[in-house]
Structure 1
């Protein structure tokens, strides 16, 4: 699974996490997967960087990044998580927690250590994460 931060860093060479994101994603054998909300968030951050945004679209078209649709089926769970983590969880974070509940063995690539070290899935376990060093 992948959060917006590593995707933005992967596509923007000037990002401070670019080297970590690029190398981490490069060595993965399986396609990345994420939610619609994370792609929207990534697109928002890349909107001023047309080549990077174009490359994001190409990665989606090629299947290197796969979208796992959560809506409308998991909207209530996303809302519950936002309620459980007031002032911390946004829609994107909540969607990734739900995705982790659906794919509990998957590891999330994220730079958001502050929040994902706090979040818990419905089973009480932390979302397995890989953070930059």
Structure 2
């Protein structure tokens, strides 16, 4: 296989593998947008320093808009960030056939509880193999597992 690909294509493939990737949770986006949030300074510093691709889900965007609904300016800023940020190119939407997996995840963590946005990130971690997550929700994401055994690596803090 390696012999059949040209050098340029192989180098691009290696470069793609070496790019850091991280899932992004609601709390991280809210803290980034809301300067009054106690996690704003460390979240802002993390986003400024991160070099790689961000992945999130439509459920996270919807939850972020809901959390920021009291401030139309913050809500608009979050949606603008999603449009402009690297996350915009890699916004994942669960297909109808993926909803059974989401329901399984929610049922598994019902005692926490695990909401739809969190379940969508667990699903995305399972789908992509990305275990790094920009979240301030250390409590829940330290319990969640991908494929039953792999832990998330929390990149920001706790709420």
TM-score, scaled to structure 2: 0.76
Q: Determine the C-alpha separation between the residues in 1 that align with 2:93 and 2:48.
A: 24
Does residue 94 in structure 1 map to residue 115 in structure 2?
Answer: no
Partner of residue 111, structure 1? 136
Partner of residue 44, structure 1? 66
Which of the residues 65, 78, 99 maps onto 2:102? 78
Q: Determine the C-alpha separation between the residues in 1 that align with 2:130 and 2:55.
A: 13
Residue 47 of structure 2 aligns to a residue whose secondary structure is helix
Q: Determine the C-alpha separation between the residues in 1 that align with 2:122 and 2:74.
A: 26
Q: How many residues end up aligned between the 2 structures?
A: 133
Give 4+ residue runs of structure 1 displaced > 4 Å after superposition: none
Query: Is 1:31–1:63's contact at 8 Å kept on the other side of the alignment?
Result: no
Partner of residue 57, structure 1? 79
Residue 26 of structure 1 aligns to a residue whose secondary structure is helix
Query: Is 1:2–1:33's contact at 8 Å kept on the other side of the alignment?
Result: yes
Query: Is 1:6–1:110's contact at 8 Å kept on the other side of the alignment?
Result: yes
How many Å apart are 1:63 and its aligned residue? 4.2
CA RMSD of aligned residues (A): 1.7
How many Å apart are 1:94 and its aligned residue? 0.8
Q: Give unmatched runs, 5+ long, in structure 2.
A: 1-22
Greater share of residues in helix: 2
Greater share of residues in strand: 2
